[in-house]
Structures are given as C-alpha cells and as structure tokens.
Amino acid sequence: MPVFQLSDKLIFPPPELSEEDGLLAVGGDLSEKRLLLAYSMGIFPWYSDGYPILWWSPDPRLVLMPDELQISRSLRQVIKKGIYKVTIDTAFEAVIRNCAGLRRNGDDGTWLTEEMIEAYIRLHNAGYAHSIESWHEGELAGGLYGIALGGAFFGESMFAKKSNASKVAFVRLVQQLTEWGFQVIDCQVTTPHLMSLGGREIPRAEFMTILKQALRIPMNNSKWGVGGRLD
C-alpha cells in the first residue's frame, strides 16, 4: 500500500490501508481537530525531530480492557504500603516533558518533539489530554498521560524515576476508568511492561469495532476534575 500524503484538508485514509509496519500517512499538522479525528479513527502520530509528521495504525493493536488489569503480588504490596501519592492533572507539562526524555523502541533521540509537546498541552487545556502522577515525598516520581474520548483512553507514554512509580499510577488510572465505565485502553505499541499489566494484542479490525462502540459513550470531562487525587 502507498503511504498517503496529507494536505490541509482535514481527512485521513482508512486505517486498513496502512503499511505492514502500521505507517499510514505523512504530513498534515497537529491541530486539535486533526488529532481528535486521528484518535477517533484509531490513528496516532509518532515521529522524531527532523522528520515530517508520521501517522500510524498498527495491526495487531495492543489494548488493555479495564477488567483485565493484572496486578502482581509485589506491585500490590507497593500500592498497599502507600509509597506513592497519586494525583490527576496536577502536573501535565512536567509529565509529558519527562516522557520526552525516553526513547520508544530503541529509536535515537526523543519521539516527543517540542511540536508534539505543545500540541498535547493544548489538548490538555481543552480537556482531552490528561496526566496521572505518582509523588514520593513531594517529588514527581513517575506518571503517564493520554487522551480520553468517549469511553476510550489512548495511553501515550509513561515514565518512572523510582521503581514502580509509573505502574502505580497506571493501576490507579485503570481502576478509575473502570468505575467511570470506560471500555478500552489503547496501548498502541507492544511492550513487556504493558503486557505484564494485562495488555494483549488484538487484530486492528477488532480494535476498530471496540473503539466505535466506546466512542458512542457520551464524554463527561467533569469526571476528571482539575488537580484531583486518585489515592
């Protein structure tokens, strides 16, 4: 399949036309409307500095169903001890900039460019992007961020400065999403870390069916609150 060149027109090709590695299209922009359209179609941006914007829709897709969360015995002990305080949307920019220091799948340099950071901060200010933070003795120890649309949460990235800090944040997020009736967490790229927490690969066609159902759930951004605690 060819890789599609996007124009200024707000449109994406069907995800099933992506390349074998998941690459679907190149170009376009990171405007709020384009990003929200992309996520609603099972597409996400992923590229590095010096490259044009690349849009992906991999097959298979890594997902985590909220009721399939797996918590190891050791992680349960960490949570029980209350080592970390977990909050939501109290330090979005700090979380995403810490995530920007990571490499995805061994790529050289960061995949979170300044352009992407600024775009997701705009989505956060608009009520679509959210961060979950783990704190230890008043210091940010780990966290993650993602996009919430309807009953779907699209996890983007996580980081940890201390052992299990990001896992504790993720577990608390999944528990909260379960209470709110979310149907799926899109984990995008397969990693042992996410598989250990209950993530599994499913065919893209199955993911799209689940996503369409999840997006029918009315959004209620007031659930997230502003700077709320999740512990």
Domain ranges of the chain: 4-56, 61-229
Q: What is the pLDDT of residue 107?
A: 46
Fold of 61-229: Aminopeptidase (3.40.630)
**Residue appearing with tokens 């909260």:** 176
3-state secondary structure of 224: coil
**Residue appearing with tokens 């504790």:** 168
Q: What is the pLDDT of residue 224?
A: 76
Sign of the Cα pseudo-torsion (28, 145, 99, 73, in order): negative
46-78: b or e for each residue (b if 16 or more CB lie within 10 Å)?
bbeeeeebbbbbbbebbbbbbeebebeeebeeb
pLDDT along the chain (231 residues), means of 10: 89 96 97 98 93 96 96 96 96 96 54 93 96 97 97 96 96 94 93 92 98 91 62 53
Q: What are residue 54's DSSP bridge partners?
A: 26
Q: What is the pLDDT of residue 222?
A: 61
**Residue appearing with tokens 């901060």:** 121
Decide if 4-56 and 61-229 have a common fold.
Answer: no
3-state secondary structure of 119: helix
Q: What is the pLDDT of residue 190?
A: 86
Q: What is the pLDDT of residue 58?
A: 96
3-state secondary structure of 207: helix
Considering only CA atoms, which of 151, 146, 148 is closest in space to residue 212?
Answer: 151
CA–CA gap between residue 113 and residue 118 (Å, rounded): 9
Q: What is the pLDDT of residue 219?
A: 79
User: Spelled out in words, what is the top-level CATH class assigned to the domain 4-56?
Assistant: alpha beta
